[in-house]
Amino acid sequence: MSTLLERQIRKLLPEDLANDKKLKPFLEAVKSSYNNQEEQFNMLQRAMRISSEELFVANQKLSEESNAQQEILDSLKLVIKSLQLKAPEKNENLDVIELANYLKEQSEELNNVREEQENLLQNLEHKNEILSNYAHMVSHDLKSPLRNINTLLHFILEEKPELANECKEYINLISNNLEKMDALINGILNYSTLDKERLGKEVIDLNVLLNQLTEVIYIPNHIELQVPKNFPTIYGDTIRIQQIFQNILQNAINSIEKEKGFIKIDFKDRESFWEFSIEDNGFGIPQHQFEKIFRIFEKIDNDQQATGIGLSIVKKIIDFYDGKIWLESEIDKGTTFYFTLPK
């Protein structure tokens, strides 16, 4: 808690309460919890950056070794094909022997590559497990001071109920920031534990999924939501597919400040994949931020309530399915998000 906020809180309190020594422990507890939370959050960001860099290097190495392995396999296929199509002649005995030696060498090299690949995959799995456990641990530790602040706030309001009216603006500010921090921690945990290998493979009726989703999300009365009734059935992880639609839809709702809002969810059949779109008539997104908003902790400049994680989760899930996501937008007219998923 900054000195300015403390001074403003005291300024709005009655004189006898502002100078009351009993208020000091509360302010000190809030300050201590806030500092502790900020330090741990910075530590989590640093850890995620380091772990992400390690995983990127490891994945790059795995990709290079996989390409090398594929080249060996292609060479073996050509050699085998040649042997099948052409029988050796008497004067070609030496060539056959050399070819047999070559196949033996390639087989040994291939086994070595496979062993290295298996070791690398095991190391990656181990690092992913460590990162996931660390994220859960830090998430729990970060939420502790938030719960303490929230509890202390309720305690002082119970003892001094008149504060609810006298300091309404500051109390709401504290509550809103507590909620935002809680959402940010949950988002970081969600992002860091996403794993392509753990994605479910289920039959998903998008008509049912979207109907359930619109019942869960709060949609203000001034916003009209249009959803066709003939959405396709796809295969994937139900929870992750729901996250894609939910995060984009929630962003659309938050962007609408007009008296009459409009959101339309639609799709098109594109032969080997489905192309989905979510259109709104919100305040729009500047073109120079089109790429930025898909990076973690990045958000639209005029959206102070956003955590900067929702769309990065969306992109990560779509990348897992080898899909694409992009957008079109005009300031004060609206935005349309497009994304593809395989059939």
| The pLDDT value given to residue 324 | 95
Same domain, 175 and 209: no
Same domain, 150 and 231: no
Same domain, 48 and 116: yes
What CATH number does residue 224 fall under? 3.30.565.10
Cα 65–Cα 313–Cα 244 angle in degrees, nearest 5: 115
Would you say 222 and 327 are in contact if contact means Cβ atoms under 8 Å apart?
no
Same domain, 49 and 26: yes
Would you say 268 and 232 are in contact if contact means Cβ atoms under 8 Å apart?
no
| The pLDDT value given to residue 29 | 67
Q: Which amino acid is at 13?
A: L
Same domain, 238 and 335: yes
Same domain, 123 and 182: yes
Tokens for 12, please give them.
């709005």
Q: The tokens 């860091």 sit on which residue?
A: 192
| The pLDDT value given to residue 59 | 61
| The pLDDT value given to residue 117 | 76
Distance CA 116, CA 42 (A): 35
Other Cβ atoms closer than 10 A to 122: 10
> Which residues, at least 6 apart from 41, have a Cβ–Cβ distance to it below 8 Å?
142, 184, 185
More confidently predicted of 239 and 304: 239
Domain carrying residue 138: 3-192
Same domain, 240 and 122: no
φ, ψ for residue 262, nearest 5 deg: -145, 130
Domain boundary among the residues 143, 173, 192 is at 192
What 3-state class would DSSP assign to 285? coil
Of 142-151, 199-208, 245-254, where does mean pLDDT reach its minimum? Answer: 142-151
Tell me how far apart the 2 most distant CA atoms of the chain are, in Å: 111
- Asked if pLDDT for residue 91 goes beyond 50, the answer is no
Q: What is the average pLDDT across 14-27?
A: 69
Q: What is the pLDDT of residues 101-151, one digit of tens each?
A: 666 776 777 777 777 777 776 766 666 666 666 565 666 666 777 777 878
Domain boundary among the residues 143, 170, 192 is at 192
Domain boundary among the residues 192, 216, 243 is at 192
φ, ψ for residue 258, nearest 5 deg: -80, 165
Of the candidates 30, 45, 32, 38, the one whose C-alpha atom is nearest the C-alpha of residue 308 is: 45
- Asked if pLDDT for residue 310 goes beyond 70, the answer is yes
- What is the CA 143 to chain-centroid distance, rounded? 19
Of 183-192, 205-214, 275-284, where does mean pLDDT reach its minimum? Answer: 183-192
Same domain, 214 and 178: no
